Amino acid sequence: MTTMHVNGSPTEGIIDRAARIITEYFPPPFRITFQHINRGPPKTFISVHSPTSICIQCDIFDSDLSTLHIYVLMRCGDPSEQEYLGPHILRQIIRFSKACGFSQITLEDQSLIEYDTTDGPIYKKYYINLQDLLRLKTGQSWYEGFGFTNEKIIQHKDAILEHIGKPIGDVNPEILPRLQKDVPDITGITDSTTVSEAVTLLYKYLQVLCPKRMCDSKSKLITVNQIDNSIRRLNDTMLTEIGATEEDFHTLSLSLLQKGSSRTRRKRARKARRRRTRRMWQLC
């Protein structure tokens, strides 16, 4: 179901087109709302809801109708149901944006993994910074895996990969003793363990400690917080070494512009194949 409140908006034509096609990507039981807001920079606010919660919220600013800005993205249902998970929601919003004719998608990466207790909201929730965890583990954040990036990320990419391949004892000798004190049950991490390997082991430990991100005691939630602190210290060390700041990695964009027509791309591919064939023939 799609609900619209955009009468009189200068974006009305854009929104009409978006509203016509968005249900192809988020069919029932998803519910979609469009609302034009004049407070602050005028914009149209798009929300996609599952039967239980918000999945994604996006902005289209009147001043830039070619850009879709992701405001919120989260898991919005049973983890066993693929359509309610973050990767599926993001892929669908990218497909929708391409079909709608947007030139880019932008966002502020503040991605977190939320941990809670199994017996209701008795204790405070704790979070793992997903951006830091994945960049230290693999060299790129969750959104970067979908093609989002910026100039600073491109600039620091090689330095990040070099850093996470170093032993943690070399990058910061104070981290391991602190980690062993905060999380005494963790095993397999030594001074010679690389940053990437150490963060991978920490994440695996989290999966065992709190399956499906649900912890069965307050003490385990506190351990989640201590692990997040260790990850933050590792990330701060990396930022200092490569000469970057946290803000360098927050504002991301994904270009949706086609680089030439499909006919042009096919023609270029055929020419490239002919050149390769000629070179192979000359080598024979």
Q: What tens digit of pLDDT does each residue of 199-211 get?
A: 999 999 999 999 9
Tens digit of each residue's pLDDT (9 = 90 or more) over 90-110: 999 999 999 999 999 999 999
**Whole-number pLDDT of residue 275:** 45
pLDDT at 284 over 70: no
The winner for highest mean pLDDT among 7-21, 86-100, 182-196 is 86-100
CB atoms within 10 A of CB 145: 12
Tens digit of each residue's pLDDT (9 = 90 or more) over 222-256: 999 999 999 999 999 999 999 999 999 999 999 99
Mean pLDDT of 151-162: 98
**Whole-number pLDDT of residue 1:** 57
**Whole-number pLDDT of residue 273:** 47
Tens digit of each residue's pLDDT (9 = 90 or more) over 112-134: 999 988 765 555 788 999 999 99
**Whole-number pLDDT of residue 270:** 57
**Whole-number pLDDT of residue 182:** 86
Largest CA distance in the chain: 74
**Whole-number pLDDT of residue 272:** 46
Contact criterion met (CB below 8 Å) for 59 and 69: yes
The lowest-confidence range among 24-28, 116-120, 185-189, 247-251 is: 116-120
Mean pLDDT of 59-83: 93
pLDDT at 278 over 60: no
**Whole-number pLDDT of residue 39:** 87
The lowest-confidence range among 9-18, 76-85, 113-122, 258-267 is: 258-267
Mean pLDDT of 147-156: 98
Q: Whole-angstrom Cα distance, residue 124 to residue 26?
A: 33
**Whole-number pLDDT of residue 31:** 96
The one-letter amino acid at 17: R
- The model carries a pTM of 0.84
Contact criterion met (CB below 8 Å) for 74 and 47: no
Average pLDDT over all residues of the chain:
87
Q: Whole-angstrom Cα distance, residue 269 to residue 146?
A: 24
Tokens 């990320």, located at residue: 153
**Whole-number pLDDT of residue 120:** 59
What residues pair up with 252 in beta bridges, in sequence order?
Answer: 107
pLDDT at 78 over 90: no
Tens digit of each residue's pLDDT (9 = 90 or more) over 257-274: 876 545 555 555 455 445
| Band of residue 16 on the pLDDT scale cut at 50, 70, 90 | confident
Q: Tell me the C-alpha to C-alpha distance, in Å, between residue 124 and each of 29, 106, 170, 217, 219.
A: 31, 31, 35, 11, 11
**Whole-number pLDDT of residue 277:** 36
pLDDT at 56 over 60: yes
**Whole-number pLDDT of residue 14:** 80
